[in-house]
Amino acid sequence: MGKRRLRGPIVALVALGLLGGCSSGAGDSAVSESRAVAPVAPKERSTSNSGFAAETASGNAQSPATGQREVIRTAELDIEVDDVERVGAEVRRRSEGAGGYLQQEDTYRSGTTMEVRIPADRLDQVLGELSGLGRVTSRSQRTEDVTDQLVDTRSRIDSQRASVQRLRALMDRAATVDEIVSIESELTSRETELDALERREATLSGQVELATVTVRLERPSAVADDDTGFLAGLFGGWRALSEIGAFLLTAFGAVLPFAVALAVPATAAWLLHRRRKALRKTAL
């Protein structure tokens, strides 16, 4: 009976000792894990970069060869008009009516150049409308396929966001000041890269959604190059006379300094010659 009574307290003491040891070991392992995880932040960059490269390669490999493509459309339109101001206002009105806007306008003596942004799906319609505002002298369109660039950029954004989230999780578990400083530095670098990627993706997407149209409005010239007749001959002769006169004046201006420089010694030599001749006559 005495042994049975002692067995119960002994077993209880042994169990308490084991529990205390386990909890202490768990606490030590948690602290060591926290301190082991935080310093890994600098090394995580290489891991995330390798993962990022794998995801990028995977995204490029899985991008569909067919289907909807992401393209940037641009167009140029040269129009000859009598009233540049009126047609320019019409170009602005029709661009805004199609859901676009005037991005830039440069005016000069013989005309104006306007750069408008138009929804890509309405580009052909707007070009047709603008072509009816005058006599079209030149018209061109270009497309640039940026599907692969957008797929690659979006894949990088996803990888970078995941990397930023991992670093923020490490920041929550950092235990020392050195660990916090190291993780904050790496986190700032990752967030900066993420912002740059997001801006690039927004720029490309905006160029895909809105096509760029450059419209040049020119006044008709007074005399065309292929005109014939009295006026054409008169203007041609006047231009030739003006060019010859300009050439002669240029040549005279170039020779004049040398003529002035040579005139002084030539005049002195002539006066000396006359004086000697007069002296000879007097001696005779």
* pLDDT band for position 217 (cuts 50, 70, 90): very high
pLDDT at 76: 94
Q: For residue 23, what pLDDT is reported? A: 38
Taking the C-alpha atoms of residue 213 and residue 105, their distance in angstroms, rounded to an integer, is 12
Contact 57, 194 (CB under 8 A): no
State the chain's mean pLDDT as an integer: 76
pLDDT more than 90, % of the chain:
45
Check residues 164 and 54 and name the one with the higher pLDDT.
164
pLDDT tens per residue across span 112-161: 999 999 999 999 999 999 999 999 999 999 999 999 999 999 999 999 99
**214: pLDDT confidence band, cut at 50, 70 and 90?**
very high
Q: What's the pLDDT tens digit per position in 10-53? A: 444 434 343 344 334 433 333 333 333 333 333 333 333 434 34
**Residue 96: predicted pLDDT:** 92
- pLDDT bracket for residue 5 (50, 70, 90): very low
Distance, CA of 43 to CA of 36 (rounded, Å) = 12
Tell me which residue has tokens 């096509």: 211
Domain parsing of the chain, residue ranges: 41-220, 227-258
Cα–Cα distance measured from residue 220 to residue 223, given in angstroms and rounded to the nearest whole number: 9
Q: What is the structure's pLDDT at 49?
A: 42
Q: Residue 284 has what pLDDT?
A: 65
Write down the pLDDT at residue 232: 67
Q: How confident is residue 241, by pLDDT bands cut at 50, 70 and 90?
A: confident
pLDDT the model gives residue 175: 87
Confidence of residue 87 (pLDDT cuts 50, 70, 90): very high
Task: Report how far residue 115's alpha carbon sits from residue 81's, in angstroms, rounded to the nearest whole number.
Answer: 17
For residues 126 and 46, what is the distance between their CA atoms, to the nearest angstrom? Answer: 50
